Structures are given as C-alpha cells and as structure tokens.
C-alpha cells in the first residue's frame, strides 16, 4: 500500500500526496478554476504542479448534486484536446481521468493518462473495472448512493460507516478478481450523504484503513464545509484546510483539491507533527 504504479511512474504514499482538480466543464459547483482557453489550462496545470500536485485529475462531466450526465461522446469532445495538450507539455506528470464511462477511460489511457477516477466504482458502466484491469493502472473507487441527479434528495443509511465499509469490501474483491492491482478508495464526501453523514465518515475515516488500500479524501470546498460555516464555496478555503487536516490525521493518503498550495501546507504541517510525535 506504500506505493502505487502509474504505468511506470511510482507514487510514494508513505507521505500524503495531492491530486489537483482540472474541471473541463462549464457546470461546476466551484468555478474558481474553470478556464476557457488551452493557454490558461496549461498555465493552471503548471501552477498546480509547481505548488506540489503529483496527480492532475481531468474531468469533463459535472457531478455536483442535481447535475445531469452527458454521454460519453460529448465528454470525449471536452477532454480530448486537453488530455492531448497537457500530456504533450507535461509528459512526466501523472494524469488521471475522472469519468464513469469506460469508453472515455479507454481513450484517455491510450493517450498517456495513467489512472482512472470513477465516482460510481463501476456501477454506472459495468465495463469500467475490466477496462482498467486491461490497462493495469490504478483505479479510484468512490462510494456514491444513487447518482448525481438524485443523490442528495434523501440519503439514507443503516450505519453510514459500516454500510460504506461493506460496499468497499465487495468492490475491492471485484477489482481484485478482475486483475486490478492498485485500488484506491474514496468514501465519496457529498455523494449521497447528508452533512451529518459526511462528518461521521470524516470522524471514522481511520476505520477504512482496515481495508489496507490507499484512501483518497475529496473534501475541497464542498457543501459540508460551506453550509456548516454559512458561507459559499468561494469562501470555503480555510474550512477546506481544516477538513483536509482532519482527514490526514485520520489516515488519508491522497487529498483531491482545487487549491494545491493550501493542501501542500497542510501536509507539511501534518508531517512535522508526525515527526515530533515519533521522537
């Protein structure tokens, strides 16, 4: 679990790493990082890399609550030129494709992308797990109750932590049986969960360490933060840093964020704290 192999690029997870978010869609809950030109996109990617992101996660589909999915071909139209351009400019960077369409994942992987981030963990497109297995790349399995269009209407669990843990036990088994070696789990903050559910998961995050796979935390500027603070997503950076720090304290290996510099500082302080605690 200490490393994952991203098509020959070895990512060391003994210290937490950062996944920077690159949204290629006009429909996002947080607009701070949306760009409308390739030049600005390349500048954004370069900035995230400079600030400390080891992975850049490219997505052409909005998955905010209430959003409607777009078909694979439309998603491809959005991400194809971006993936080709960023990979050409930054060939040594680990790029991830944020998609639940196996067709999109397959094309992206053929163009140099080396990780798949699937909010549905293969539940929307049953071919996804087998596509990832064929390419032998890391797979981020996220838990989501329902789908983006309906997931926040009435989230319901018997025990949110246990239910998600049981989901991952089954999903990891499916991935292993298909031949996926590097599996990363994401409990899916904000995806079919109430604010209380989200904070319970954050509190219990260390429990998911029992699964012996890396944990990704995607808390950046989400509703659980800005609604609790009675502010907007634009004003939720400080709250995000606090939530990310709690996630690190509870075992997160990867932070998926809009704001790389702040996440890097949280990791630096966390590492200093761990070093002191071990002395």
Which pLDDT band, with edges at 50, 70 and 90, does 25 fall under? confident
Q: 222 catalytic, yes or no?
A: yes
Which pLDDT band, with edges at 50, 70 and 90, does 151 fall under? low
- Scanning the chain, the segments in alpha helix (DSSP H) are 38-51, 72-89, 102-110, 128-135, 160-178, 195-203, 223-226, 237-249, 260-278
Once rounded to an integer, what is the mean pLDDT over residues 203-231? 97
Which pLDDT band, with edges at 50, 70 and 90, does 27 fall under? low
State the catalytic residue, choosing from 171, 193, 221, 222: 222
Phi, psi values for residue 65, rounded to 5°: -55, 130
pLDDT (0 to 100) of residue 69: 77
As a whole number of angstroms, the distance between CA 81 and CA 5 comes to 25
Q: 221 catalytic, yes or no?
A: no
Percent of the chain clearing pLDDT 70 (strictly above)? 91
As a whole number of angstroms, the distance between CA 142 and CA 193 comes to 13
Burial label for 187, CB within 10 Å (0-12, 13-18, 19+), is buried
Domain ranges for the chain, please list them: 16-278
Residue 39 pLDDT > 80, yes or no?
Answer: yes
Among candidate residues 226, 205, 207, 227, the one with its CA nearest the CA of residue 216: 205
Residue 33 pLDDT > 50, yes or no?
Answer: no
CA angle 211, 257, 46 (to 5 degrees): 125
Which pLDDT band, with edges at 50, 70 and 90, does 68 fall under? confident
Residue 67 pLDDT > 80, yes or no?
Answer: no
Task: With beta carbons less than 8 A apart as the criterion, state whether 79 and 58 touch.
Answer: yes
Residue 53 pLDDT > 70, yes or no?
Answer: yes
Q: What are the counts of helices (DSSP H) followed by strands (DSSP E) for the chain?
A: 9, 10
pLDDT (0 to 100) of residue 148: 66
Once rounded to an integer, what is the mean pLDDT over residues 208-226? 97
Per-residue pLDDT tens over the stretch 259-278: 999 999 999 999 999 999 78
pLDDT (0 to 100) of residue 161: 97
Once rounded to an integer, what is the mean pLDDT over residues 104-125? 97
Q: What is the mean pLDDT of the chain?
A: 92
pLDDT (0 to 100) of residue 38: 87
pLDDT (0 to 100) of residue 154: 72
pLDDT (0 to 100) of residue 30: 46
pLDDT (0 to 100) of residue 29: 47
Domain 16-278 listed as CATH 3.30.43.10: no
Once rounded to an integer, what is the mean pLDDT over residues 117-142? 97
State the catalytic residue, choosing from 111, 221, 256, 274: 256
């Amino acid at each position: 679990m200490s490393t994952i192999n991203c098509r020959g690029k070895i990512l060391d997870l003994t210290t937490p790493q950062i996944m920077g978010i690159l949204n290629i869609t006009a429909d996002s809950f947080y607009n701070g990082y949306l760009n409308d030109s390739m030049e600005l996109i390349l500048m954004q990617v370069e900035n995230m890399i400079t600030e400390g992101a080891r992975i850049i996660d490219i997505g052409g589909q909005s998955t905010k609550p209430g959003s409607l999915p777009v078909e694979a071909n439309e998603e491809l139209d959005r991400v194809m030129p971006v993936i080709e351009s960023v990979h050409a400019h930054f060939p040594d960077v680990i790029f991830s494709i944020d998609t639940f369409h196996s067709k999109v994942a397959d094309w992206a992987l053929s163009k140099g992308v080396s990780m798949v981030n699937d909010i549905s963990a293969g539940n929307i497109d049953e071919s996804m797990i087998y596509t990832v297995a064929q390419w032998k790349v890391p797979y981020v399995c996220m838990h989501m109750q329902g789908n983006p269009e309906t997931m926040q209407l009435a989230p319901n669990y018997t025990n949110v932590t246990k239910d998600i843990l049981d989901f991952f036990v089954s999903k990891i088994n499916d991935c292993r049986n298909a031949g996926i070696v590097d599996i990363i789990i994401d409990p899916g903050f904000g995806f079919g969960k109430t604010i209380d559910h989200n904070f319970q998961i954050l509190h219990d995050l260390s429990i998911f360490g029992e699964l012996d796979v890396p944990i990704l935390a995607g808390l950046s500027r989400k509703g659980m933060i800005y609604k609790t603070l009675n502010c907007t997503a634009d004003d939720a950076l400080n709250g995000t840093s606090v939530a990310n720090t709690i996630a690190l304290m509870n075992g997160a290996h990867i932070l998926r964020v809009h704001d790389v510099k702040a996440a890097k500082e949280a990791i630096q302080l966390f590492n200093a704290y761990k070093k002191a605690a071990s002395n």
